[in-house]
A and B are shown apart, each in its own frame.
Chain A
Amino acid sequence: MTEIRLQNINQYFGETHILKNIDFTFLEGKFYTILGPSGCGKTTLLKIIGGFVNQTSGDLYFGDKKMNEIPANKRQVNTVFQDYALFPHLNVYENVAFGLKIKKVSKVEREARIKEALRFTNLTDFKYRDIEQLSGGQKQRVAIARAIVNEPDILLLDESLSALDHNLRVDMQYELKELQQKLGITFIFVTHDQEEALALSDEILVMDKGHIVQAGSPKDIYDEPLNKYVADFIGESNIVEGEMLEDGKVSIYGRAYECVDGGVKSGTPVEIMVRPEDIVLKPLEEGHLNVTVDSILFRGVHYEICVLDEDGYEWVIHTTQKTEEGKKVSIYFDKEDMHIMVPGEKEDEFNERLELYEGIL
């Protein structure tokens, strides 16, 4: 059993504080995604788990075993590097064989495992190709084959799909997810593509400037982001400012609305988030706010409609309902679709509050 426990990990490069008090436990056999903007420390976090960077302070455990002093080649972890890092002087087969040869796996077993890994990644036909002759997607699969052939407990993947075109990428997402379920090992996957994170993960960690801002299931993070940063990072959102009146009542632009959140002191300034797909268009005066349709974009599966309310604020709506530019309509959303965020609230306070009021209001 290998859960990965990070305890108060800090990383400095020179004077710069790259990772700040990272405390997190990765459970065995789950698919985790680390999501965050460029430079927030995602790769650094993976490198600490893989053993390529020694954290400045804090402890790393695999199960009960403290890993701080254990070098990378002694860890049951394999990595799919951001640039794949395939050995250019070896062909596909030799790249995949590298780890097994080092571990002196018998020839018969080695052949069998390589064959299986190549079959798994659809590379059987490319066995003797040189690395230079592979496309980005094929390289990526070689990198995955080279890692999983070692049957690691933990697989680290650093933005492994970012070089691929959309279709291949979606294909690979399915393959990865399937792979993880088949192997039953822990995947820690880094990306800055939120859709990818939502589609693949059992759990998402949203990072910002060296912090883990929020961690939770894709649904939790999508429906109940901790703050504006997370809400904006994952999916699109309409965020308006308001004020908490009492448990289950919030005021937006001076008008009171029913909501399902509570535990916030009366008079606290809050932010109210509504997802674009949760907004319904209704005839004038029948919804919450009267608006004028500003623009309509056809997005394939839905229309993306921008409307302006009477105070001049813009709302984005994703809907299959038809309307026309310039038309006056009104917008409506259920109280369950309003999500209330308190600026400055910490993740544990937030979770506590959500739990307390779950199902009450």
Chain B
Amino acid sequence: MSVVSAKNITKTFGEAPNKTIVLKNISLQINKGEFLSIIGPSGSGKSTLMYLLGLLDVPTKGAIYINGQKTKDISEKDRAKLRNREIGFVFQTYNLLPRTSALANVMLPLNYSNVSRDERKSKAMKLLKDVGLSHRISSFPSQLSGGEQQRVAIARSLICGPSIILADEPTGNLDTKTGEQIINIISQLNKQGKTIVLVTHDNNIAKKTNRIVTIKDGQVLSDKKNR
């Protein structure tokens, strides 16, 4: 069964005269354990698609299914719950809370599920250790390098044990070498069984994934198995 799937989704922004169609009738199935990359030129709609898959936005037409459950017409509260439990986000700009310690940033998603503070803390500590930051738990984002911040963000995306990780150009703001470290961490996660969607416009990165979906002008141009 697919972890996340999109059925005939269309996304438009704006009203009649200024209406822009960003995604046109896209269908996509992401299966458990897959390591999938979405590539395409700038403005092709990659981020838009990823936000729709992650329930951060709603499609104009069509529906998104999470673990087989249709997410159309569910309340904002239930969508929040699904994001919390099933989806982990990694953004290009990290999106860590400023003036908040690395540990607290990693713990954040657990604040919205019923987990005791002690458990939140120990889970976050373990994840920070896994991404090699156990010495940086009380540092603020401003005291961390870009690569370190992105590792904190990865730890945060994992803390609720999501079914899928959605990463939008996670190496976009990093130099090649640091970017490679981040990609290594992500492929490691995939090897441990995590389903991963990686948005990128870097073909070399896409080549490291098992499946490459190419988008152009809001449509799927190709969907190929890799390796």
Our verdict on whether A and B bind, yes or no, reads no
Interface, chain B (partner A; CB < 8 A): none
